[in-house]
Structure 1
Amino acid sequence: MSVQRFNLNPLLAACAAVLCAGGAFASDARLDEMYQALRSAPAAEAVRLGEDIRLRLSNSGSPAMNLLLKRGRDAMAAGDADLAIELLGALTDHAPEFAEGWHARSVAYARAGLMGPALDDLTRSLALDPRNFAAIYSLGALLEEVGQPALAAEAYGHVAAIHPYFDDVTLALERLNAQTRGTDL
């Protein structure tokens, strides 16, 4: 078994993007309202709002770029990470300011076992949109994968602050808190 090495600089940059979360990013009033409502919404409403936000973040404004994103995601769903990376690479080349393109390609890289490029793409995605709870969750998952449970728990904590009902963020936090706090004597 070989140990995969990677550069921690992208990891640290991605963490910094999440922690600072006040960077410059494209925003609109409706999206700001949705994020605000998401923090305090009851579970069912939060899930719906979260999906609405994700749909909004998945719209690049260009039908051609949206098609590349859809085809890249379809390739991932079909288990073809290489094709997904190729399609999403075309997306990031043609729409470098579209944060969700970088996030989607980071997921494809991670599924291909390429953690360094996945971290690079997450860094870019979070620099463009530090509120993207799905991208922050992906960062937490990558941090877990590379053996950084304390940083992963911090990322998941940021997800929970934005969207308390996102996927299994509560379970991930409980698991990591148990893992990182040790045992009582």
Structure 2
Amino acid sequence: MARRLHPLLLALTLLVLPAAVAADQKSPALDGLFQRLKTAASPAEAKPIENAIWDLWHHKGVEAVDRTMALGIVAASQGDLRRSLDYFDRVVRAAPDFAEGWNKRATVYYMMGDYTASVEDIRRTLALEPRHFGALSGMGLIYDALGDAEAAVKVWEKALEIHPHMETIRNRIRELRSGAKGNPT
């Protein structure tokens, strides 16, 4: 149960990360932020950079889309995944070029146990924003839940190339490699 609870908490955390500005994955500020994230000396130094990236990703800059995103996040945080899914369905229909809309819907599908739909939306997210370490982390969670440790480690290593200070992911890779939990790679 503890192993299952942890990925759900991580998924919920990814769903409700802070957001404050209008931009999305096309913001010119992202290149510099990703460079700083990659070279940050510690998790403490990386955290505000990570938050700035999430802030830029989180809002499309279109009032109706941003409002619907916010409603979807609230519904998910209240455990109403069906309602949350409905909101994120609206987001991706209204803004199919908005990576975070796909990522949020992927997270809800993951929380509902619909890994196939989640993977499809993660792929859409990554097609729009290949540096989306949250989507890569989610893909790893799915592989891990399905017992495919090798695939989980591979995708998490890609995420760590982008964001080297995701300690939870780094620790899970160590666990899988040592055979402490799940299948060793």
Number of residue-to-residue matches in the alignment: 157
> d(CA) in 1 for partners of 2:57 and 2:47?
15
Match of 1:78 in 2: 78
Which consecutive unaligned segments of at least 5 residues does structure 2 have? 1-24
Identity %: 26
102-111 or 39-48: bigger deviation: 39-48
Cα RMSD (Å): 1.5
The C-alpha deviation readout for 1:52-88, integer Å capped at 9, x for no partner, is: 0011011112121111111111111111111111110
**Secondary structure at 2:177 match in 1:** helix
Deviation at 1:99, TM superposition (A): 0.5
Deviation at 1:149, TM superposition (A): 1.0
The reply on whether 1:36 has 2:35 as its aligned counterpart is: yes
Aligned letter for 1:164?
P
Deviation at 1:133, TM superposition (A): 0.6
Match of 2:141 in 1: 141
> d(CA) in 1 for partners of 2:52 and 2:158?
19
> d(CA) in 1 for partners of 2:176 and 2:90?
36
Distance 1:27 1:65, change over 3 A: closer
> d(CA) in 2 for partners of 1:46 and 1:102?
25
167-176 or 101-110: bigger deviation: 167-176
> d(CA) in 1 for partners of 2:172 and 2:68?
31
Q: Give runs of aligned pairs for residues 1-185 of structure 1, distance below 5 A.
A: 27-43=26-42, 44-166=44-166, 168-179=168-179, 181=184
Aligned letter for 1:84?
S
**8 Å contact kept, 1:99–1:125:** yes
Aligned letter for 2:48?
R
**8 Å contact kept, 1:50–1:166:** no
Deviation at 1:39, TM superposition (A): 0.5
The C-alpha deviation readout for 1:113-138, integer Å capped at 9, x for no partner, is: 11111111111111111101111101
Match of 1:19 in 2: none
Q: 4+ runs of 1 displaced by more than 4 Å? A: none
Deviation at 1:42, TM superposition (A): 2.2
Which consecutive unaligned segments of at least 5 residues does structure 1 have? 1-25
> d(CA) in 2 for partners of 1:178 and 1:120?
30
**8 Å contact kept, 2:149–2:184:** no
* TM-score, normalised relative to structure 1: 0.80
**8 Å contact kept, 1:156–1:172:** no
> d(CA) in 1 for partners of 2:79 and 2:54?
22
RCO greater where, 1 or 2, for CA within 8 Å and sep 6 or more? 1
Distance 1:28 1:90, change over 3 A: closer
**8 Å contact kept, 1:140–1:156:** yes
Deviation at 1:155, TM superposition (A): 1.1
